[in-house]
Structure 1
C-alpha cells in the first residue's frame, strides 16, 4: 500500500470531504505503537511537534478543529518522571485519573489517556481556559520501557461551551388569534438540557482568551 503524506509544513491537509477521527484504540495501536517501534504508519497524517513549545492557539493547523501531534515526553526535573508542560503563556495541568484504553476484544489494556486543561499564567494561580489535551501513551505491556524515545500522541481541541442553563424561546405561530387576544403572549419556553461535556468539539469563541 502506498504511503500517503497529508502533512505539509506541520499542517494536516486532507482531501475535501475527508476527516481524521480515529478511535482511542486506533491512535494507540495503529499510530503510536507503530511510531514507537519505527514501523510504517497507515498514513503520514500526524506531525511531530513538542506541544509545549507553543501555546495551544499557536500550534499548526486550524484551532477550530481537533489537532493531533506526536510528541516526546520531556522530564520536568533531572532523573524525574513528571513531564514539563509549561508553555510561553501558561501550562497544561492534568485533571482526574488516567483512563485505561482496552483492546477491541476488551481483554487487554493497550494504553492510557490523560486529560489536561490549559491554564494561562503561572501555577498555582493560573486562569483556566477551554483548551483541552488528551495525551495517549502505550501501556508497559505494549511498549518497551527501556526505549530512550518515549513518544506520546496528543489530541488538542477547544471544549464546547454549554447552553444547558439557557431556555430558548420558540414562537407558536399556530396559535389562534382568539387565544392570543385572551392575554397569552404566544411565546412558548422550552427547557434545553443539552450537555456541555463534549470533549471532541472545538468551536468555542477564541476571543474569550
Structure 2
C-alpha cells in the first residue's frame, strides 16, 4: 500500500512522544482497537527500503510516522535495507504510570547517503537541504502485547555547514 500525504489544518503539528506512540497508537493497533485520534499513522511495509525523499511531502516535510511489521535483520535482494541500527535499544517508560515499561525504542540511521538534489525543483539561489536521516522504531514489550507491529518515526536533522577559519 502506497502511503498518502494527509492535509492537516494550518498550525497543526503531529509530534507524539515515544510514550504516546507506544501507549496509544501502537498498543491500539496491535490489539485491534479503534483509534479516535484525528491523525493516525498509516501502514508502509517497505519503510526500511525507502529513502526519505520517496515519502509524501518531501522536501517540505521532515517527519513521517508509519506502522509496519518488525524488521527482519536479513537483507534480501527483493527489499534492500537502507537503514542500520545505531546505539542500544532503550526503554520507553510511562511517567504517568510510575515509570511502567510501555515500549522499546531502537534508533536507526540511513546508510545510503546519496545526492539529494537530483529530484527536487529549486530556484537557482536555493540549495537543497542536507540531512542526517534517522528512524526511531518503537515496539511493544511482550508484557504488553505479543505482536510484530512497530511504529517508525523517520526524521531528518539538518547538517550545519562547517566553516574553517582562515589565517
Residue number in structure 2 paired with 1:61: 57
The reply to whether residue 142 of structure 1 matches residue 138 of structure 2 is no
Residue number in structure 2 paired with 1:159: 157
Q: Are the counterparts in 2 of residues 68 and 156 from structure 1 also a CA contact under 8 Å?
A: yes
Please report the TM-score for the alignment, with normalisation by the length of structure 2: 0.72
Number of paired residues?
A: 142
Q: Unaligned stretches of 5+ in structure 2?
A: 114-130
Give the 3 Å change call, closer, same or farther, for CA 70–94 of structure 1 in structure 2: same
Q: By how many angstroms is 1:37 displaced?
A: 0.5
Residue number in structure 1 paired with 2:4: 10
Structure 2 counterpart of 1:70, from 63, 67, 72: 67
Give the 3 Å change call, closer, same or farther, for CA 57–26 of structure 1 in structure 2: same
Please report the TM-score for the alignment, with normalisation by the length of structure 1: 0.59
Runs of 4+ with >4 A deviation: 83-90
Q: Are the counterparts in 2 of residues 110 and 142 from structure 1 also a CA contact under 8 Å?
A: yes
Q: Are the counterparts in 1 of residues 49 and 82 from structure 2 also a CA contact under 8 Å?
A: no
Query: Map of 1:1-209 to 2, 5 A cutoff?
Result: 10-43=4-37, 44-50=39-45, 51-63=47-59, 64-75=61-72, 82=73, 84=75, 91-104=82-95, 105-120=97-112, 130-144=132-146, 147=147, 150-162=148-160
Distance in 2 of aligned mates of 1:65 and 1:85: 28
Residue number in structure 1 paired with 2:116: none
Deviation string for 1:147-188 (max 9, x for gaps)? 5xx11001111112246x659xxxxxxxxxxxxxxxxxxxxx
Describe the SS at the equivalent of 1:60.
coil
Distance in 1 of aligned mates of 2:84 and 2:76: 8
Deviation string for 1:61-102 (max 9, x for gaps)? 334321100111243xxxxxx365989786211000011111
User: Based on CA coordinates, which of the two structures has the bigger radius of gyration?
Assistant: 1
